[in-house]
Structure 1
Amino acid sequence: MSSHLHPASGTLYEVFADTAERLPDAPAVELPGRTLTYGELRQAADALALRIRTLGPTTARVGLLATRSAVAFVGYLATLRLGAAVVPLNPEHPDDRLARVREQAAVDVVVADPAVRRGDHAWADGLPVLSLTDDDALAAAPGGTLPPYRPDPDATAYVLFTSGTTGRPKGMPLRHRHVLPFVRECLARFEVGPGCRMSHTFDLSFDPSVYDLFVTWAGGAVLVVPDRGEMFSPVDYVARRALTHWFSVPSAVSVSAQLGRLPTGPTTGAAPPGEITPPGEITTLRFSAFGGEQFTLDQARAWHAVAPGSRIDNVYGPSETAVACAAYRLPRDPAQWPRTSNGTVPIGQVFDHLEPLHDAATGELCVRGPQRFDGYVDPRDDTGRFLGPGDGGRPGPEHFFRTGDRVAFEDGQLVHLARLDDQVKIRGLRVEPGDVEAAMRRLPQIQDVVVTAVRRSDIAELVACYTGEAVPPRDLVRALRASLPVHLVPRRFLHLATLPLNTNGKTDRRALRALALRAARTGTP
């Protein structure tokens, strides 16, 4: 199947609009209960863009508080149609986090879906908030006309935020010219075209969602949006909706297996309605991609068992390199799969249009090229993250981005070994333990705290070891949820009289990690 991306497309909006011009009657989004064609989605985006323009004198940055709804997709495209930047706001995040993101990103107006978040919008601090239902988002345009679209590849397309070591979110602006090379790479690699049915597992605040939306729309495919139940059962989601392409974090495989929703042995016959599909019954799936965290060979084998006809890719890259910068495709025959030193699928090779830098044997992976972003929202966050000449100012094209990931060549392929710093990933989301530690230290009962991550059954979880007063875990969870997103709240808490020290008099993080792992294995809360 041939893919299509108009060579003149220089912005994400043009990627969509070019397809809408060619295929106005083709399905663009399949929501539970309704399907939107490219023509309908474009018309709705134009109408919403007109409404957004009336909200204030400036609409350069639009906060989007929505997910997996017509409001989310129409709002995203309407923002880009205005030449503005999208600032995705995760509805699951607490008000304090939303307020900090709004402030750092200099959001001008907010488009919100009331179905995903109840209550007032005090965190918006008086900014105009346009609250829309799906029916509102698809309503006819008000009076007036939009000015002609003026594409600017150098304009910011979106601003995402990740966990920061200082306890504040760290903002990453990505320009259209950073993202388009990634879209082109994926179109060819995954053979996306009309008739393809693409998964949508990522929230808009997580940058793999850019693949979900714009690789889909660049190819003229349809984005198949899951309902809440399907989100917890990937196999049923793929089978019931006849998906051809899958993309998720690897832990989706492990979580499904733990919930009993991923078959683990061979069965025969078709599954009755509402029951789990047996291995080998998924025949529509042609490509499966996993990214956001280490992808183990065991997870790959479990997925291959239910979709043996699908190619399986491990996609790697920090958000600073526009979603992903490297990939590896497993051979069709599992007997030919590689063996790696840590049991993970290789990340393969950096894309041909990017330039890697790393030690010949093992070392930190650094990358430069057209997908590398130009620096964080706060220039202070650039410190130590770029490699190259200069006096510490904003990085230029000659600078490599330091991913912070330690990699090694094994049998000619790059393998991700570990983080060089304390950053970890929880279900694909980047977490700085220092961010969590800072929040815990603000609690009056806590004296000192070390947060570490351990893996149990291929799933990473945070464990907090703390001193001070012993606090019931449910009370700690309740207190932390007021200031932290749910993925930053530790799964377990260990109260200690003192934190262990190593021979240098420093906190012995290795010993704490061993305690945390024991707690995870024994089920200590």
Structure 2
Amino acid sequence: MNDRQQRTLYQWFEESALRHTGLPALEIGDEVLTYGELRALALTLADRIAAKHGSLPARVALAATRSVAAYAGYLAIQRLGAAVVPLNPDYPAQRNLDIAQRAGVEVALVDTRSADLFTRLPERHRPTVLGLDEDERVSGPAIEVLERSLPPVPDDPDREAYLMFTSGSTGQPKGVPIRHRNTSLFLAHTIERYEIAPGARLTQTFGLTFDASVIDLFATWGGGATLVVPLAADLYRPIDFVVERELTHWFSVPSVIREAQRLGNLPLGRAVNLRHSMFGAEPVTAQHAELWRAVAPNAVIHNVYGPTELTVCCTNHALSGPTEDWPEFSNGTVPIGVPFPGMEMVLLDESGLAADEGELCVRGAQRFGGYLDPRENAGRFVSYEADGGPAEGYGGSTALTDRHWYRTGDRVRRENGLYVHWGRLDQQVKVRGFRIELGEVEAAVHRHPHVIDAAVLALPGPDGETELVGAYAGREVDPERFDAWLRELLPLHMVPASLTHLPGGLPLNDNGKTDRKALARILDTTEGS
């Protein structure tokens, strides 16, 4: 492993800051900070943290977003060698407090919206709290003095870089610690693959509580490029933002684009400066890819895949050239592609043997080392070696090693050397005796030319039996004609009992994904019965 593959997140930033001091690093609205200015602000905040806390913390909560102070705060935490625990100021206060307490944060950086968050705790349980001043600038010690007062730049790749919390099946978020060694090879590959270099301009659509923000921040800064931060309103008119800010790279969930199309804010052929467009966190349909080709005719389109436990994303499939040259996608979605360097993948069938279709299991440099609560590791890993018999589940009674495979819970098929996502294993349902993959039904609904977005759920019907119900956004289709159209694609037992047109779009969660719990409440056929 070479030097570029052993860096901490802060080292990725600092090398660019020292090499490209006068180049723009961060752009928010009309405000632009150079690499030198952003580094100076980060050092100032790091010095404030160390001085107020009195020692170097191991984990620091960051309750701020989309401000100069928030990004400088993220870098300040990394400069001290601490792990960032991002909190969303828009989340319920109790959720943020639960996460902070479970993470054992010693310090919290908070913006004005979260200024009183930790006053809810007894004083003896409160972390050291520092308010982030939006007008914070280097007005104190000179940079040389700050550097001498701070510890050496952290260089241990085994330290935690950040701690994210994902939704858990028990209803309690699961803590996912990611170490610098997990991020470094990933960043080296990402910067090279997507040609991120000085002069490139990348957007930052993901919130800091979503691990895709690590690409936004550190692939941008590691490549010496400029991070251009959109405001919430900009995401409703993404192409105007792309053109006005002269972006070269776009990275978002597909829902951002579908919502813009629904609102009529997706003009074709204008985003000619885009060189790379990346989409992830949700399936990318063929229809979506073809639409984006018309929007950004010169961009390579990338479908990336990866759960938080595998450090942002671990596969990529690229589409370039005219759409008529693209292969047909078997289930209507773009393949998730092939694994990144340093990653191994195997598909395990129900008997625990390697197959061309089954649960995707992954190990390698980007795989995390286990959950914050070790009890949650049980059932999430397997031991498997080729020609060594069926996979054996990990029960948690022995040490977790790098040889264990992480179970993604995703059903994947290998087709022509590529991995194709066929839905979640937990989305397999039984309806009147038939086993049905919800992802397969959704893929069929997505194929209708008037549909922009769609989701299908299995809910109790009026008679108490489970039935398929769905919702879609786009142009409204006559229900009888839609039903007849679907029967040409699907067996009768897979055709939803109802498809509800939602002119306002499908409900989305904070990460831009379809909020299935909210959708279930909308579609619940038993209500009022």
Give the equivalent residue in structure 2 for 1:490: 518
Change (3 A) 1:453 1:353: farther
Is 2:182 the partner of 1:185?
A: no
- 2:484 aligned partner: none
1:148 aligned onto 2:152: yes
Is 1:24 the equivalent of 2:21?
yes
CA offset digits 1:9-55 (Å, max 9, x no partner): 52111000111111111111011121111111111111100111133
1:456 aligned counterpart, secondary structure: strand
SS in 2 for 1:55: helix
Identity %: 44
Alignment match, 2:447:
none
Q: 2:4 touches 2:188 (CA, 8 Å); kept in 1?
A: no
Alpha-carbon deviations, 1:345-366, whole Å to 9, x = none? Answer: 1001111321111143211111
* Residue 215 (structure 2) pairs with residue 211 (structure 1): yes
Change (3 A) 1:333 1:138: farther
Q: Distance in 1 between matches of 2:521 and 2:370?
A: 35
**Which of residues 90, 93, 104 is equivalent to 2:91?**
93
Give the equivalent residue in structure 1 for 2:37: 40
Deviations 1:317-349 (Å, cap 9, x if unpaired)?
111011011010013110122222321110011
In structure 2, C-alpha distance between the alignment counterparts of 1:241 and 1:258, rounded to whole Å: 23
Q: Distance in 2 between matches of 1:422 and 1:129?
A: 42
TM superposition shift of 1:451: 13
SS in 2 for 1:96: helix
Q: Give the counterpart letter for 1:18 in structure 2.
A: E
Contact 1:74 1:137 in 2 (8 A): no
Residue 11 in structure 1 maps to residue 16 in structure 2: no
**Superposition pairs of residues 75-474 of structure 1, within 5 angstroms:** 75-114=73-112, 116-117=113-114, 120-123=117-120, 126-136=126-136, 139-141=139-141, 145-263=149-267, 279-358=268-347, 359-388=354-383, 392=396, 393-422=398-427, 454=470, 456-457=472-473
Length, aligned pairs only: 439
Return 5+ residue gaps in structure 1 as ranges.
264-278, 426-432, 434-447, 459-480, 496-511
- Worse-superposed segment, 330-339 or 247-256: 330-339
Task: Identify if the C-alpha distance between structure 1 residues 452 and 149 changes in structure 2 by more than 3 Å, giving closer, same or farther.
Answer: farther
TM-score of the superposed pair, with normalisation by structure 2: 0.76
Summarize deviations over 1:357-392 as a string: whole Å, max 9, x none: 114321111110110000000112111110116662
Indicate if the aligned counterparts of 1:65 and 1:113 stay in contact, CA closer than 8 A.
yes
SS for the counterpart of 1:457 is strand
Q: Which runs of 4+ in 1 moved over 4 A?
A: 116-120, 141-144, 422-425, 450-455, 485-489
Equivalent pair of 2:61/2:86 in contact (CA under 8 Å)? yes
Q: Give yes or no for contact 2:284–2:303 (8 Å, CA) kept in 1.
A: yes
Distance 1:138 1:406, change over 3 A: farther
After superposition, the Cα gap between the structure-2 partners of 1:410 and 1:488, relative to the gap in structure 1 and judged at 3 Å, is closer
Specify whether residues 298 and 134 from structure 1 end up closer, same or farther in structure 2 by C-alpha distance, changes over 3 A only. Answer: same
Judge conservation of contact 1:61–1:105 (CA < 8 Å) in 2.
yes
CA distance in 2 between counterparts of 1:72 and 1:453 reads 42
SS at match of 1:398: coil
Q: For the residues of structure 2 that align with 1:183 and 1:27, how far apart are their CA atoms?
A: 20
Deviation at 1:133, TM superposition (A): 2.4
Which residue identity does 2:402 align to in structure 1? P
Determine the C-alpha separation between the residues in 2 that align with 1:154 and 1:253.
37
Q: Tell me how far apart the structure 2 counterparts of residues 103 and 452 of structure 1 sit (CA, whole Å).
A: 40
* Alignment correspondent of 2:47: 50
1: distance between equivalents of 2:114 and 2:514?
A: 15
* Alpha-carbon offset, residue 69 of structure 1: 0.9
1:193-224 CA-partner distances (Å, limit 9, x unpaired): 00000010000100000000010011100001
When residues 140 and 232 of structure 1 are mapped into structure 2, their CA distance, relative to the original with a 3 A threshold, is farther
The more displaced of 139-148 and 350-359 is 139-148
Distance change (3 Å), C-alpha of 1:92 and 1:7: same
Q: Which structure ranks higher in relative contact order (CA pairs < 8 Å, sequence separation ≥ 6)?
A: 1
2:518 and 2:120 map into 1 onto residues whose CA distance is 24
Letter in 2 for 1:207: D
Cross-structure match for 2:480:
none
Supply the AA of the counterpart residue of 2:518. Answer: P
Question: Could you report, residue by residue, the CA deviation over 1:153-199 in whole angstroms, capped at 9, with x for unpaired residues?
Answer: 00000000111111211110000000111111111111110000001
Q: CA deviation at 1:136?
A: 2.1
Q: 1:177 and 1:362, CA in 2 relative to 1: closer, same or farther beyond 3 A?
A: same
- The residue type equivalent to 2:322 in the other structure is D
Contact 1:379 1:394 in 2 (8 A): no
Superposed CA offset, 1:109-139 (max 9, x none): 110121x557554456532221122212655
Q: Which amino acid aligns with 2:68?
A: A
2: CA distance, partners of 1:452 / 1:238: 39
Residues 6 and 185, structure 2, Cα contact 8 Å, conserved in 1: no
- Give the structure-1-normalised TM-score: 0.77
C-alpha deviation, 1:306, in angstroms: 1.2
- What value does the CA root-mean-square deviation take over the aligned residues? 3.3
Shift of residue 281, structure 1, vs aligned partner = 2.1
The Cα shift of 1:100 comes to 1.3
Residue pair 2:59, 2:106 contacting (<8 A) in 1 also = yes
AA at the equivalent of 2:133: T
- Answer whether contact 2:5 2:188 (CA < 8 A) is retained: no
Partners of 2:320 and 2:202 lie apart in 1 by 22
